[in-house]
Amino acid sequence: MDFPVITTNSLLFFTLLIFLHYPNSCLSSLILPLKAKLTQSPAVTTPNKLSFHHNVTLTVALAVGSPPQQVTMVLDTGSELSWLNCKKTPTTPSSFAPHLSTSYRPIPCSSPTCTTKTRDFTLPVSCDPNKLCHAILSYADASSVEGNLASDTYRFDNSVALPGMVFGCMDSGSSSNPEEDSKTTGLIGMNRGSLSLVSQMGSRQFSYCISGTDSSGVLLFGEANLPWLKPLNYTPMIQISTPLPYFDRVAYTVQLEGIRVAGTVLPLPKSIFEPDHTGAGQTMVDSGTQFTFLLGPVYTSLKNEFLRQTKGILRPLGDPNFVFQGAMDLCYRVELTRAVLPQLPSVNLLFRGVEMSVAGEKLLYKVPGLTRGSDSVYCFTFGNSDLLGVEAYVIGHHHQQNMWVEFDLARSRVGLAEVRCDLASQRLGLPP
């Protein structure tokens, strides 16, 4: 998502549109607010992947328990287990109190949920002294949370009840950003794992559309039968059943086959984009990561070609020691008085059966609050995953702006179509 530079406490409002299909329920749709808040430093990270270095935390307000307790949870399509802060002595209003919920149920070690459904966790679960299922979730920025698996009733807008939803009731952990983490109650996992919210809801398809110009956006569970939506082009999800050390089996993995800058295809073999025998080199579509990260050799080739095609158009920063967010070392100086960026060569990501075009303002990101003399600093929105110690290609949400992105689990494919997401929100009758 491409957000304007705003103050730390400013809020942008998104909308969550959910089509639910539950037995014995006559409800067909529900609209919830999804908030995007600018933060000063990394907030939440994703297991087995790079840390959230983005400046925006997406949150959704839910109610959990009986009677319902209001919680605010980070929405993450790259994580499996949802979790809530369940500290025994809450120090902030962002804690969930399990002892006040009559529908709260801790999960024992003997439960199949503990013994079989946790196989894709980063760390194996254990049994605590009370014979309850204990989990530790560790993240790429060295933060972690730990506690017991439990189940309770989740409620959307206090109307749609989802009983028996499994989550982590976390009572301890370490954080890279305690101030920001204290403003949310936990995290909603949305990947393909058996304990993600998507899987537990039984949803076989969901979509989202992120606007690049304003605060409107849509997340939709269920089939998108929308007459005004362009036909989607699909690329198959790549699945590997054998456990490999560097392959995330429950991520939304597709096959990147090449990259084109304007009319020039990077002179790279297709094999460089394919996972190797360890699983390193998978390509993940992830709304929880802001920018796109490429393995070192591919990133270097793209960087050199972009530099070649923008020579005389953009002025390089000229500071070899400046690396934005630890992985983005191609940055430029742009006059503060310049309102519009110059014409830039587009970068097309070539997937099997689908192309994703990254053009215009999506190619450069203005570093908030940083100037050099009378210039702003802009950085190329592709980074080097090798610098982060990540053995994967990750397609971030910044490059998914104004695209309808559909995750079709029933047919094991990802669909893309260019669309004005602000107009999509209007057509769905959502508030601006």
pLDDT at 27: 36
Same domain, 54 and 183: yes
* Assigned domain for 347 exists: yes
Same domain, 193 and 297: no
Over its length of 432 residues, how does the chain's per-residue pLDDT go in tens digits? 332 222 222 233 333 444 333 333 333 444 444 444 444 333 333 332 222 223 455 577 789 999 999 988 877 888 899 999 997 655 556 789 999 999 999 999 999 999 999 988 888 999 999 999 999 987 655 678 899 999 999 987 656 789 999 999 998 765 545 555 566 788 889 899 999 999 999 989 988 888 775 556 777 878 888 889 989 999 999 998 888 999 999 999 999 999 999 999 999 999 999 999 999 999 999 887 889 999 999 999 999 999 999 999 999 999 989 999 889 999 999 999 888 999 999 999 999 999 999 999 999 999 988 999 999 999 999 999 998 888 999 998 889 988 999 999 999 999 999 998 888 878 887 666
Same domain, 99 and 158: yes
Instruction: Determine which one of 248, 286, 329, 408 is catalytic.
Output: 286
Same domain, 199 and 297: no
Distances 280 to 124, 269, 386, 391, 394 between C-alpha atoms, Å = 21, 16, 11, 5, 12
Same domain, 339 and 260: yes
* Count of domains for the chain: 2
* Assigned domain for 9 exists: no
Structural domain boundaries, residue 117:
39-203
Same domain, 56 and 96: yes
* Assigned domain for 297 exists: yes
- Kindly state the helix (H) or strand (E) to which residue 424 belongs, with its residue range: helix 421-427
pLDDT at 88: 62
286 given a catalytic annotation: yes
Q: Which residues contact 260 (CB under 8 A, 6 or more apart)?
A: 266, 347, 348, 350
Report pTM: 0.82
Same domain, 294 and 158: no
Same domain, 192 and 56: yes
Identity of residue 298 = V
The alpha-helical segments, DSSP class H, found in 151-249 are: 178-181, 197-201
**The pair of three-digit structure tokens given for residue 72, joined into one six-digit string:** 């605010």
* Assigned domain for 25 exists: no
pLDDT at 57: 53
β-pair partners for 134:
126, 148
171 given a catalytic annotation: no
Distance, CA of 199 to CA of 134 (rounded, Å): 21
Instruction: Determine which one of 76, 152, 181, 248 is catalytic.
Output: 76
Q: Compute the C-alpha angle 225/228/230, nearest 5°.
A: 85
Residue 242 belongs to domain with CATH number: 2.40.70.10
pLDDT at 112: 95
Q: Which residues contact 211 (CB under 8 A, 6 or more apart)?
A: 1, 217, 401, 402, 420, 421, 422, 425
pLDDT at 263: 93
**The pair of three-digit structure tokens given for residue 115, joined into one six-digit string:** 């013994």
Same domain, 175 and 244: no
* Assigned domain for 13 exists: no
* Assigned domain for 4 exists: no
Same domain, 167 and 257: no
Same domain, 145 and 273: no
pLDDT at 287: 80
* Assigned domain for 351 exists: yes
* Assigned domain for 376 exists: yes
Same domain, 50 and 178: yes
